[in-house]
């Protein structure tokens, strides 16, 4: 890093080895960001805009002017907006209920489990449950309610399926925030004569605004980039951009207009990011002050509100559990809807023919997990807490691969790493890099959001005692942002097990993935193995995230336990 | 690959992971590599039989036709596989135009009719796959319909929003369907597109892959659709109650092919696979494995059940050369005038 950054980046008196490590680390980090984010995208842009050495804007203009593409863009924005709002609201209801409604241990566990399921599922699982459940012969619409003239394809289904798939992300982002808000603030409001609603509105809500904005941004981005759900559920009359871009590239062999189409998505993604950034900036959300805070014993919600909240959660939880029961059922019958004979045949298939994919996926996920977790908190800390030249650039760059539709990231990697000197296609490295740089932004955002709640005086205290930046980070900040580290670990592992949109272009003869096998099985009319693979992924992820939670509990001393990850 | 070899490979790759700047090219050349467009449950038994016959292990991964082609084009500078196995002829003619194949004419090609081989030897057929109408039995009963026997039957308002068929951008099934419609309209494009626009009103979803709509039709979530016979019969084998019928005006068929990838690193082994797949050695295994492709090699008789189903069918020829030359224009027109007309 340039020397002019030193006064801010390194704390006073830090001219020793700590600073050198800091500078070296910084250089390495920039190199990685350039190599795995900037370079592939640059290659993609070159492919999109250059034609035989000349800048060619014709394709760009004709893509933008096409009314069909504009319709797809409108549909995408509408869908992302709806999913962002609905998912954030549902996530907030769940987080608030879990943290404030004094649920019993068991009920709390059940909610945690139900919200976890969509998050850790391979793509297509919710969509497939929708295809089974709704529509002219759907289990719910026809067999339960006798409605025969209804369509499962279109905006409503896509919106509902994406909301169910993604709201747990909002829940995960919001719950630690609610947990970290000392109830003594709410208590203070009560003791000043405020009602519970008044306390929620004037104390709790403003405090979690950064987290709400964060959750909305994450969901908006997820929906904007999701091609799997619309691919199954959007039908012929609701085209969205990621699916169009995906089909353009995979089908028409037209990298250029596919790339341009998906680049259109960058505009809204960037806009939302900008708004969120401005919206959150300039407010103080400090609630972890290092001073002892006593827990309130008074209930934060009235009995009536509690019933409504709990009922809402129960309803949603039931829907989710039903979907997954359906998935499990599909994995143990010969052929769903045709032959209900129970069988373990599908599991036998995945553990014989599917075994290489299982081994490869686990290997990649386990390598990517620690790398992604570390990368997340390091970038989050640098961006959220230090000042240096290029800080803003680092923040934006680190978000790019996440904000871009996976299809584009995948194609960009394919273009960038196919030839020497960086011929990485066909290796595990390219898959791991893709996951780490694409899915760590959750860890980054969580770190930043958590840091916004931690008073700067804690670091100043450390610095005034002679500690340098690295020591301060390690001894003071690290324990406080450990939950963010574990959230980062969890998300990278889960995504490595479940994501498909980018990596479908990067799997190879040598390394393949379970998710790709699932998609393949679905196109082969082999729903049984697809369901069995999905169940397997869910079980593995449950076990690993369970272990992560256990480790987090062990590692955080009770006095420092700011929050838990919601898993 | 043995467990030890796999572990060793892991070790090598672990090293590569630890330092992404070290590019290890320690790729074992002990086996043949292929992209298969045939689904795994069709390709695996065939390629395992090949290994039994020759001792050459084929390491393969399955992609839909559009994806496999996009990959081969993207990998032209650094080919990852030796053979493209299975998949409709239109994918191979498009690939031929993109220069992804090396010429190789297997001995069996001499026995094949013209539409089963590339004039330049870039690809050779290993099977034939006619299109069919597939309808849900209960749906037909509920609506008092008979299985459709004319393209115009599909325009019946009873099918409104109840048909599923493949998207021409990704699926070879769809491209073959569109060229069938053109052919039965005597290549009068305006008439053919007029029909397709009318048909669009009855389509609830265009699926990414050719077989994508088979389960919805099997479940009754869709009333029917147009599929390759191999997918339709597989749906029936699974236990779904579906009807298979053919339009009296005629319907097309796609040759399923194999081709040698340009820059293949195991050319000798690749040629052996092409020889084997185009010969009776492989194609006589299709019927016993309950894989309902028609053999391309005239020396192999079709499965009697399959032949019985096809007896009533009017299968028409689609001129590959004409289709290849007009493919992009026709698909573009389909996207603009049919897909986006909704």
Could you report the per-residue pLDDT of B304-321, keeping only the tens digit for each?
999 999 998 999 988 887
Write the residue in B78, B81, B162 that is nearest to A423 by C-beta: B78
Question: A440 near A492, Cβ under 8 Å?
Answer: yes
Query: Which of A86-90, A406-410, B80-84, B124-128 has the least mean pLDDT?
Result: A406-410
**For residue A480, with 0-12 CB atoms within 10 Å meaning exposed, 13-18 middle and 19 or more buried, which class applies?**
buried
Hey, is the C-beta of A429 within 8 angstroms of any chain B C-beta?
yes
CA distance B341 to A223: 25
Banded model confidence at residue A268, pLDDT cuts 50, 70, 90: confident
| Cα dist from A438 to A378, A564, B215, whole Å | 15, 23, 33
- Crossing angle of the two packed helices A155-180 and A478-498, in degrees rounded to 10: 160
- Of A48 and B291, more confident: B291
Hey, is the C-beta of A248 within 8 angstroms of any chain B C-beta?
yes
The closest alpha carbon to A128, from A542, A401, A544, A528, belongs to A528
Banded model confidence at residue A563, pLDDT cuts 50, 70, 90: very low
Hey, is the C-beta of A523 within 8 angstroms of any chain B C-beta?
yes
Hey, is the C-beta of A493 within 8 angstroms of any chain B C-beta?
no
Question: Does residue A371 register a pLDDT over 90?
Answer: yes
Give pLDDT, residue A5: 38
Token reading at B280: 């009776």
pTM of the model: 0.80
Give pLDDT, residue B85: 97
Token reading at B264: 């293949």
Within 400-419 of A, beta carbons closer than 8 Å to B belong to 411, 414-415, 418-419
Average pLDDT over residues A419-429: 82
Average pLDDT over residues A38-44: 90
Token reading at B51: 């290994």
The sign of the dihedral angle between the CA atoms of B235, B241, B242, B244 is positive
Give pLDDT, residue B51: 93
Return the CA Rg of chain A: 24
Apex B323 CA angle, B319 and B327, nearest 5: 175
Question: Does residue A360 register a pLDDT over 80?
Answer: yes
Check CB contact under 8 Å for A253 and B66. Answer: yes
> Any idea which residue has 């908190």 for tokens?
A377
Return the number of other C-beta atoms located less than 10 Å from residue B79's C-beta: 15
Check CB contact under 8 Å for B9 and A353. Answer: no
Question: Does residue A555 register a pLDDT over 80?
Answer: no
How many Å lie between the alpha carbon of B177 and the closest alpha carbon of chain A? 16
CA distance A109 to B138: 43
Q: Which residues contact A255 (CB under 8 A, 6 or more apart)?
A: A47, A48, A249, A411, A415, B74
- Best to test chain A binding among B70, B162, B334 (most A CBs inside 10 Å): B70
Return the number of other C-beta atoms located less than 10 Å from residue B285's C-beta: 16
Average pLDDT over residues A521-533: 81
Question: Does residue A1 register a pLDDT over 50?
Answer: no
Pairing of strands B224-228, B124-136: antiparallel
pLDDT in tens, B261-304: 999 989 999 999 999 999 999 999 999 999 999 999 999 999 99
Give pLDDT, residue A275: 72
Give pLDDT, residue B214: 92
Question: B235 near B100, Cβ under 8 Å?
Answer: no
HSE toward the beta carbon, residue B162, CA cutoff 13 A: 24
Hey, is the C-beta of A247 within 8 angstroms of any chain B C-beta?
yes
Sequence-ordered alpha helix ranges (H) in A120-208: 125-133, 155-180, 183-191, 196-199, 205-207
pLDDT in tens, A279-325: 654 444 545 544 444 444 456 667 788 888 888 888 999 999 999 99
> Any idea which residue has 């097309």 for tokens?
B252
pLDDT in tens, B192-237: 999 999 999 999 999 888 888 998 999 998 999 999 999 999 999 9
Question: Does residue B18 register a pLDDT over 70?
Answer: no
- Best to test chain A binding among B71, B81, B219, B227 (most A CBs inside 10 Å): B219
Q: How far apart are the first and last CA of chain A?
A: 37
Pairing of strands B242-245, B203-207: unpaired
Return the percentage of chain A with pLDDT > 90, whole number: 19
Q: How far apart are the first and last CA of chain B?
A: 50
Name chain B contacts of A527, Cβ cutoff 8 Å: 215
Nearest-Cα residue of chain B relative to residue A136: B221
Full 3-state SS string of A20-68: HHHHHHHHHHHHHHHHHHHHHHHHHHHHHHEECCEECCHHHHHHHHCHH
Question: Does residue A470 register a pLDDT over 80?
Answer: no
Name chain B contacts of A504, Cβ cutoff 8 Å: 67
What integer best gives the mean pLDDT of chain A?
80
- Best to test chain B binding among A227, A236, A364, A507 (most B CBs inside 10 Å): A236
Question: Does residue A518 register a pLDDT over 80?
Answer: yes
Write the residue in B17, B73, B218 that is nearest to A337 by C-beta: B218
Average pLDDT over residues A333-360: 89
Name chain B contacts of A251, Cβ cutoff 8 Å: 66, 70, 167-171, 208
Name chain A contacts of B221, Cβ cutoff 8 Å: 131, 135-138, 152
CA distance A130 to A138: 8
Query: Which of A47-56, A156-165, A514-523, B155-164 has the least mean pLDDT?
Result: A47-56
Check CB contact under 8 Å for A420 and B161. Answer: no
């Amino acid at each position: 890093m340039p020397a002019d950054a030193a006064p801010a980046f390194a704390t006073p008196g830090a001219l020793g080895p700590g600073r050198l490590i800091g500078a070296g680390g910084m250089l390495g980090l920039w190199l990685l960001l350039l190599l795995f984010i900037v370079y592939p995208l640059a290659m993609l842009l070159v492919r999109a805009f250059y034609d035989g050495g000349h800048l060619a804007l014709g394709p760009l203009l004709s893509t933008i002017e096409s009314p069909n593409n504009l319709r797809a863009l409108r549909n995408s924005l509408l869908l992302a907006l709806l999913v962002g709002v609905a998912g954030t609201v549902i996530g907030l209801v769940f987080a608030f209920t879990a943290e404030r409604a004094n649920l019993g241990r068991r009920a709390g566990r059940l909610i945690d489990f139900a919200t976890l399921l969509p998050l850790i599922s391979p793509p297509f699982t919710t969509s497939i449950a929708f295809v089974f459940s709704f529509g002219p012969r759907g289990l719910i619409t026809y067999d339960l309610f006798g409605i025969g003239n209804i369509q499962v394809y279109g905006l409503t289904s896509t919106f509902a399926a994406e909301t169910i798939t993604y709201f747990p992300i909002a829940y995960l982002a919001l719950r630690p925030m609610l947990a970290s808000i000392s109830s003594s603030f709410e208590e203070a409001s009560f003791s000043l004569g405020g009602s519970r609603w008044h306390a929620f509105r004037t104390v709790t809500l403003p405090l979690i605004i950064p987290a709400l904005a964060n959750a909305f941004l994450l969901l908006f981005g997820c929906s904007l980039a999701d091609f799997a759900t619309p691919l199954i559920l959007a039908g012929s009359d609701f085209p969205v951009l990621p699916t169009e871009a995906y089909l353009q590239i995979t089908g028409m062999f037209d990298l250029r207009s596919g790339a341009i189409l998906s680049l259109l998505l960058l505009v809204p993604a960037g806009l939302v990011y900008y708004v969120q950034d401005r919206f959150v900036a300039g407010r103080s959300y400090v609630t972890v002050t290092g001073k002892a805070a006593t827990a309130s014993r008074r209930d934060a919600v009235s009995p009536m509100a509690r019933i409504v909240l709990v009922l809402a959660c129960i309803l949603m939880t039931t829907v989710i559990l039903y979907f997954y029961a359906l998935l499990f059922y599909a994995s143990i019958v010969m052929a769903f809807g045709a032959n209900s004979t129970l069988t373990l045949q599908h599991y036998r298939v995945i553990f014989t023919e599917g075994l290489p994919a299982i081994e490869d996926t686990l290997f990649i996920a386990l390598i990517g997990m620690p790398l992604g977790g570390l990368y997340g908190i390091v970038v989050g800390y640098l961006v959220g807490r230090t000042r240096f030249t290029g800080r803003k650039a680092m923040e934006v760059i680190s978000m790019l691969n996440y904000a871009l539709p996976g299809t584009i990231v995948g194609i960009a990697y394919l273009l960038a790493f196919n030839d020497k000197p960086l011929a990485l296609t066909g290796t595990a490295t390219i898959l791991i890099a893709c996951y780490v740089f694409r899915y760590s932004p959750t860890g980054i955002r969580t770190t930043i959001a958590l840091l916004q709640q931690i008073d700067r005086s804690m670091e100043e205290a450390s610095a005034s005692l002679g500690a340098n930046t690295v020591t301060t980070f390690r001894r003071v900040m690290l324990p406080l942002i450990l939950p963010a580290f574990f959230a980062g670990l969890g998300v990278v592992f889960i995504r490595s097990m479940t994501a498909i949109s980018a990596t479908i272009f990067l799997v190879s003869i040598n390394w393949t993935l379970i998710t790709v096998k699932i998609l393949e099985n679905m196109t082969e009319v082999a729903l049984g193995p697809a369901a069995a693979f999905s169940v397997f992924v869910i079980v593995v992820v449950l076990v690993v995230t369970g272990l992560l939670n256990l480790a987090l509990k062990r590692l955080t001393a009770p006095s420092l336990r700011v929050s838990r990850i919601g898993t | 690959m043995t467990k030890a070899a796999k572990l060793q490979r892991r070790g090598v790759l672990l090293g590569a992971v630890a330092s992404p700047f070290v590019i290890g090219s320690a790729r074992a050349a002990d086996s043949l590599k292929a992209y298969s467009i045939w689904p795994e449950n069709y390709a695996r038994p065939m390629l395992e039989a090949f290994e039994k016959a020759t001792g050459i292990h084929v390491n393969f991964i399955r992609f839909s036709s559009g994806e496999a082609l996009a990959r081969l084009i993207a990998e032209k500078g650094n080919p990852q596989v030796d053979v493209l196995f299975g998949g409709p002829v239109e994918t191979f003619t498009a690939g031929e135009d993109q220069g992804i194949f090396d010429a190789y004419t297997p001995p069996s090609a001499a026995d094949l009719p013209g539409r089963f081989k590339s004039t330049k030897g870039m690809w050779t057929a290993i099977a034939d796959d006619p299109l069919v109408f597939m309808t849900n039995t209960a749906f037909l009963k509920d609506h008092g319909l008979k299985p459709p026997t004319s393209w115009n039957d599909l325009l019946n308002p009873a099918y409104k929003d109840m048909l599923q068929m493949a998207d021409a951008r990704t699926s070879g099934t769809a491209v073959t369907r569109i060229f069938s419609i053109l052919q039965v309209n005597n290549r009068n494009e305006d008439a053919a597109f007029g029909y397709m626009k009318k048909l669009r009103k009855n389509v609830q979803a265009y699926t990414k892959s050719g077989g994508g709509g088979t389960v919805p039709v099997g479940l009754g979530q869709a009333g029917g659709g147009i599929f390759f016979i191999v997918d339709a019969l597989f749906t029936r084998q699974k236990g779904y109650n579906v009807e298979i019928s053919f339009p009296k005006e005629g319907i097309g068929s796609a040759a399923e092919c194999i081709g040698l990838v340009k820059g293949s690193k195991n050319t000798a082994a690749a040629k052996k696979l092409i020889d084997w797949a185009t010969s009776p050695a492989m194609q006589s295994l299709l019927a016993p494995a309950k894989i309902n492709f028609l053999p391309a090699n005239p020396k192999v008789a079709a499965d009697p059940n399959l032949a019985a189903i096809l007896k009533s069918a009017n299968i028409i020829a689609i001129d590959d050369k004409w289709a290849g030359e007009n493919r992009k224009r026709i698909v573009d027109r389909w996207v603009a005038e049919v897909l986006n007309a909704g």
